[in-house]
Structure 1
Amino acid sequence: MKQPTVMGEIVAGIVLGPSMLGSMFPAYLNFVFPPNSLGNMRILSQIGLILFMFVIGMELDLSIIRQKARTAITISNASIIFPFLLGIALSYFLYEDYGLPHTPYYAFALFMGVAMSITAFPVLARITKERGLSGNRLGSIALASAAINDVTGWCLLAFVVAIVQAGSISSSFIVLLETLGYMLAMVFIVRPVLKKLVNHQQNQIIKQSTTAIIFITLLISALATELIGIHALFGAFIAGLVMPAEWSIRKVIIDKIEDVALILLLPLFFVITGLRTQIEALNTPMLWGICLLITIVAIIGKLGGGALAAKFSGESNYNSLVIGVLMNTRGLMELIILNIGYELKILSNEVFTMMVIMALVTTFMTGPLLDLVERIYSKKAIPAGFGTDNRI
C-alpha cells in the first residue's frame, strides 16, 4: 500500500485496544493488558519516546535549513500559522460540548492549535527518500520546512504545557523564563562542551566514556524540562539538536539508540495510544461529522497553508502542491502531542479519538495524494520524472 511503517503500528495499536478486539472480546483486554500492568507500560513507553525524540533532534540537519532558510521559513511559518488559527477557531465550537470541565478554554484552544500545526519530520524524510526527492531542490525545501516546523511546533507545545502546568498565563512567565535559561545553557554551554569532547575522538570512534556523557546529557536535559514543567520529551528533543554536528558521530549514537527505542520500547507507546483510543465513543452521526470536520480543517490549514506559501515564494504549481502534501503528514509526532494533551487532561476521550483518526487519515493520504499530483502534472513535465522541478 506504499504506506510508512508508522501507519501499520498505529493501526495495530488501535486493533489491540478497546475499539476492536477489546469490544469483541472484553475478557481478552483484561487478560493481555491487566490494569495493574499499565503503569509499567507507560513508564517504558515514555523511555522509548525520550530516546526517539533524542534521535529526531539529532536527525535534523541544520545545514539544510541554512541552505534553504528563506523559502523554508516562509513555508514553515505559513504551515503553522494557518492550521494554528483554524485549530483555535475550531476549539471555540468544540469546547462547550467536548471540553473537560476543569480545563480552561485558553488551554484547550492553544493545544488544539498546536496539535493541528505539527508535521511528522521522520515520516516526511522517509517519503522524500523513497520517492527520490531527498537529493534535489524540492526535497531539500520540504525537509528544511519540516525541520523548522518541528522545532517551532515543539517550542509552541512547551509554551502551552507551561501555561497549563502553571495554571494561568500570568504565572507561566516564571516557567517561560526558566525555559529560556535552559535553552541558553544548552546552546552556549552544553553544545560547545560536547563539540570539544567529540573533537578529541580519533578515527570517528566514540569512547565508552563519551557515550556515557552523551546519555547523561540526554537524561539531565529531559529531567530539567520535566522539573521546569514543559515535559521531558522537549528536553530530549533539544538534547538531540545540540549534539555535535558531525554526521558520522551522530550516526554512531543513533545506531546505538534506534534499535532499542524503535523496536523494543516504542511499540508500547502505540499500545498505550490504542488503549486510549475509543472509537466506540463516537456513537452518533454528530460525533462522526465533527471528526470529519476536524480532518478537513486540518488538511485545509496544513496542506493549503504550505502550498500557498510555497507558491508565494516563487515555486511552481507542482512543487507547491507536493510541498503542501508533504507538510500535511502528521504521523507519530501528532500522536506524541495528543498523548501529552490526554495525560494533562486537556483532551477528552472523544476529542482525543477524533484527533487520532485525523492523524491516521492525513498520514495515510500522503502517498496517494503525491501519486495524484504526479499523474496530473506528468503530461506537463519537461522532462518526465517525479523528481523534476520544471513543472508548471
Structure 2
Amino acid sequence: MVRTKQRLGLRAVGVYGLLVVLPVLISVVLLTREGGAGGGATKAAAAGHPLAQLLLAIAVVIAACRLAGWLMRRIGQPAVVGEIIAGVVLGPSLLGAVWPAGAAALLPDAILPQLNVLAQVGVVLFVFLTGLELNTRLIRGRGHLAVVVSHVSIAVPFVLGVLLAIVAYAKFAPEGVGPLAFALFIGVSMSITALPVLARILKDTGMFHSRVGVVVLTCAVIDDVTAWSLLALVVAVVTASSLVGVLLTLGSAVAFAALLLYAIRPLMTLYFARTPDPTLRRLAPLALVGVLLCAMATEWIGVHAMFGAFMFGLVFPRGNVVERWLHQNASGLTTVLMLPLFFAYSGLRTNLTLLADASQWLWCAVILVVAVVGKLVSAAVAARSVGESLPRALQIGVLMNCRGLTELIVLNVGLDLGVLSPTIFTMLVLMALISTAMTAPLAVVLDKRASRHKAALASVQQQPAVAMSRATPAGAEEHDAVTDR
C-alpha cells in the first residue's frame, strides 16, 4: 500500500514536470529569442510599472521596519525606535549614500507622492486611535499634579524652543518664512510627549499600572490635548494670510470642536446605547467614514487633518462593540502597514549628509540639550514641587521626555508647510530619536532607585515606632504606678 502511494506520487511529479514545467521553460526560451527589441521594451515597461514599484517599496519598508523593531525590542527599546531608524536607513542618509542605484530601484522618486498619500492616511488613523485610547478619567483626583507637571513640561520647553529659534533663524529658516512661524514650530516641536510610545514603554517595563505610570499617563493625556491644540494654532498662524484669517481659522476650529463635544458625542452616545450590538457591529466600518470626514473638515478649515481625527477619537463613545472593532481592525492595519510607510517617508526626507561640518553637528547637540533640559528638567522640577520624591520626580521627567512618533508627525507638518528646512528637520528628527531611545533605560534605572529610596524611607519610619513600642511597657508601668498612688 505504501509502495503504491509512493509510485503514484512519483508519477504525479513526473507528469507535472513533463506537461507543466517543460512547456513553461520552452515558452520562456522561445519568447526570449523571438522578443528582440520589442521584448526589451516590454521588460522595461514591466520594470517601470508604477504599481509594481509601489508594491515593492511597501514590501521593503514593512520588512525593514519589522526587523529593526524586533532588534530594538531585543535590547530593551520600544519598536518605534527601530522603525524610525529603519526609515532613516532607507533614505539618503545611508542607503542612498552607499548604494544609490539600489535606493533608486527600491524607493524611486516616482512613487514618493503615492507613499506620502498612504502615509498621511495612516497618520490620520493613528491620531484617531490615539484620541480613542485617551483615558480622560485618569485626570480625576490627580488634577493638581497632572496640570502642573503637564503644563510646566509644555510651557518651559516651548519658551526655550522659541529662544533657540530666534538665535537659529538667520542660519536655518527657509527663505520666505517669517520669524514668528519658525519660532512657533520650533517651540511646539520641543514641547511634545508621545503618549502611545510612552504607554508602550510603560507596559514593556512593567510600570503601566504603577503609581508613577498612572501619574505620567495622566500628564501625557493633558500634554497630548494641549500639544495638538497648539499645533492647530500654529498651523492656523502659518497658513492664514492675515490676522483676520488667523482669527477666522481659529474660530472655525473652536466651532468644529464644540460641535463634536456638545452635539455629535451626545447623539452618538444615545444611538450606541439604544442600538443592539449586532446592528452596531454591521455599522462599525462607518466609524472610519466619520474619521475621514472630520479629518477633511479640519484640513479644509486650515488646522490640518490630524486635528479633526484626534477630536473625533476623543469624543467617540467607549465600551461598545464599535470601539472593539476599531481596535481589532483599524489598529492592526495602521501599525503594521501604514505607519511604517510614514517612517520610511520621514526617513527619505531625513538626510544626515546635510550635516556636513562640525558647526552643524554642534547645533544638533544644542537642539538635543535644549529639548532634554526643557522637557525632562522642567517636568522633574514640577513633580518635585508638588510632593514627589527626587527619584520619582526624575523618573517622571525622563518619561515625559519621550517624543517618538508624535514628534515626527509635527516635524513633517512643518516640512510640508515649508516652515522647516531639510537641515533643521534632520536635526529635529535626530533629537526625537535620541530622546525616545534614552527614555526606557533611564526610567528603569530611576525606578530601581526610587524603590530603594522608598524602602529606606519606610525602614527609617519604622525604627521610631519600634523604639516607642519597646519603651511602652516602662511607660505603662510608670502610668500604673501613678494611678495606684
TM-score in terms of structure 1 length: 0.94
Q: Where does residue 224 of structure 2 map in the other structure?
A: 150
Which of the numbers 112, 126, 144 marks the counterpart of 1:38? 112
Q: 1:288 to 1:324 in 2, by over 3 A?
A: same
Cα drift, residue 248 of structure 1: 6.2
Cα drift, residue 171 of structure 1: 2.7
Provide the secondary structure at the position in 1 that maps to 2:454. coil
Cα drift, residue 65 of structure 1: 1.8
Q: Report matched runs for 1:284-323 at 5 Å.
A: 284-323=357-396
Cα drift, residue 381 of structure 1: 3.4
Aligned amino acid, residue 214 of structure 1:
A
Cα drift, residue 173 of structure 1: 0.5
Cα drift, residue 129 of structure 1: 2.0
2 CA distance for matches of 1:72 and 1:289?
A: 35
- Corresponding pairs, count: 383
- Check the 8 A contact 1:13/1:272 in 2, yes or no: yes
- Check the 8 A contact 1:118/1:330 in 2, yes or no: yes
Aligned amino acid, residue 295 of structure 2:
A
Aligned amino acid, residue 326 of structure 2:
I
Mean Cα deviation higher: 366-375 or 261-270: 366-375
1 CA distance for matches of 2:148 and 2:313?
A: 24
Aligned amino acid, residue 366 of structure 2:
L
- Check the 8 A contact 2:91/2:347 in 1, yes or no: yes
Mean Cα deviation higher: 195-204 or 257-266: 195-204
- Check the 8 A contact 2:281/2:322 in 1, yes or no: no
- Larger Rg: 1 or 2? 2
Structure 1 residues 168-216: Cα deviation after superposition (integer angstroms, max 9, x where no partner): 444300101101110110101111111112112445873222x143222
Q: 1:205 to 1:313 in 2, by over 3 A?
A: farther
2 CA distance for matches of 1:350 and 1:117?
A: 20
Which of the numbers 331, 334, 349 marks the counterpart of 1:261? 334
Q: Where does residue 181 of structure 2 map in the other structure?
A: 107
- Check the 8 A contact 1:65/1:72 in 2, yes or no: yes
Cα drift, residue 223 of structure 1: 0.5
Answering whether residue 343 of structure 2 is matched by residue 270 of structure 1, we say: yes
Provide the secondary structure at the position in 1 that maps to 2:92. coil
Q: 1:301 to 1:205 in 2, by over 3 A?
A: farther
Answering whether residue 453 of structure 2 is matched by residue 380 of structure 1, we say: yes
Aligned amino acid, residue 194 of structure 1:
M
Aligned amino acid, residue 298 of structure 1:
A
- Check the 8 A contact 2:379/2:397 in 1, yes or no: yes
Q: 1:247 to 1:60 in 2, by over 3 A?
A: farther
Q: Where does residue 3 of structure 1 map in the other structure?
A: 77
Q: Where does residue 370 of structure 1 map in the other structure?
A: 443
- Check the 8 A contact 1:100/1:346 in 2, yes or no: yes
Which of the numbers 212, 230, 249 marks the counterpart of 1:175? 249
Structure 1 residues 69-109: Cα deviation after superposition (integer angstroms, max 9, x where no partner): 22111110000001000000000111101101111110000
1 CA distance for matches of 2:207 and 2:118?
A: 35
2 CA distance for matches of 1:212 and 1:249?
A: 8
- Check the 8 A contact 1:204/1:249 in 2, yes or no: no
2 CA distance for matches of 1:125 and 1:287?
A: 33
Q: Where does residue 390 of structure 1 map in the other structure?
A: none
Answering whether residue 142 of structure 2 is matched by residue 68 of structure 1, we say: yes
Cα drift, residue 383 of structure 1: 7.3
Indicate the RMSD between aligned Cα atoms, in angstroms.
1.6
Which of the numbers 195, 202, 205 marks the counterpart of 1:131? 205
Q: Where does residue 470 of structure 2 map in the other structure?
A: none
1 CA distance for matches of 2:280 and 2:165?
A: 49
2 CA distance for matches of 1:271 and 1:212?
A: 28
Answering whether residue 412 of structure 2 is matched by residue 339 of structure 1, we say: yes
Q: Where does residue 168 of structure 2 map in the other structure?
A: 94
1 CA distance for matches of 2:192 and 2:85?
A: 20
Q: 1:207 to 1:300 in 2, by over 3 A?
A: same
2 CA distance for matches of 1:64 and 1:379?
A: 27
Q: Report matched runs for 1:185-334 at 5 Å.
A: 185-202=259-276, 206-209=280-283, 211-246=284-319, 249-334=322-407
- Check the 8 A contact 1:87/1:116 in 2, yes or no: yes
Mean Cα deviation higher: 104-113 or 34-43: 34-43
Higher-RCO chain (CA-CA 8 Å, sequence separation at least 6): 1
2 CA distance for matches of 1:204 and 1:115?
A: 44
Answering whether residue 159 of structure 2 is matched by residue 85 of structure 1, we say: yes
Q: Where does residue 100 of structure 2 map in the other structure?
A: 26
If each structure's helix is expressed as a fraction of its own residues, which one has the higher value? Answer: 2
- Check the 8 A contact 2:391/2:449 in 1, yes or no: no
Cα drift, residue 326 of structure 1: 0.5
2 CA distance for matches of 1:36 and 1:222?
A: 26
Aligned amino acid, residue 139 of structure 2:
I
1 CA distance for matches of 2:439 and 2:376?
A: 10
Q: Where does residue 51 of structure 2 map in the other structure?
A: none
Aligned amino acid, residue 161 of structure 1:
V
- Check the 8 A contact 1:68/1:140 in 2, yes or no: no
Provide the secondary structure at the position in 1 that maps to 2:140. helix
Answering whether residue 190 of structure 2 is matched by residue 116 of structure 1, we say: yes
| Structure 1 gaps, min length 5 | 385-392
- Check the 8 A contact 1:119/1:149 in 2, yes or no: yes
Q: Where does residue 389 of structure 1 map in the other structure?
A: none
2 CA distance for matches of 1:170 and 1:113?
A: 23
Structure 1 residues 272-306: Cα deviation after superposition (integer angstroms, max 9, x where no partner): 00100000000010000000000000000100111
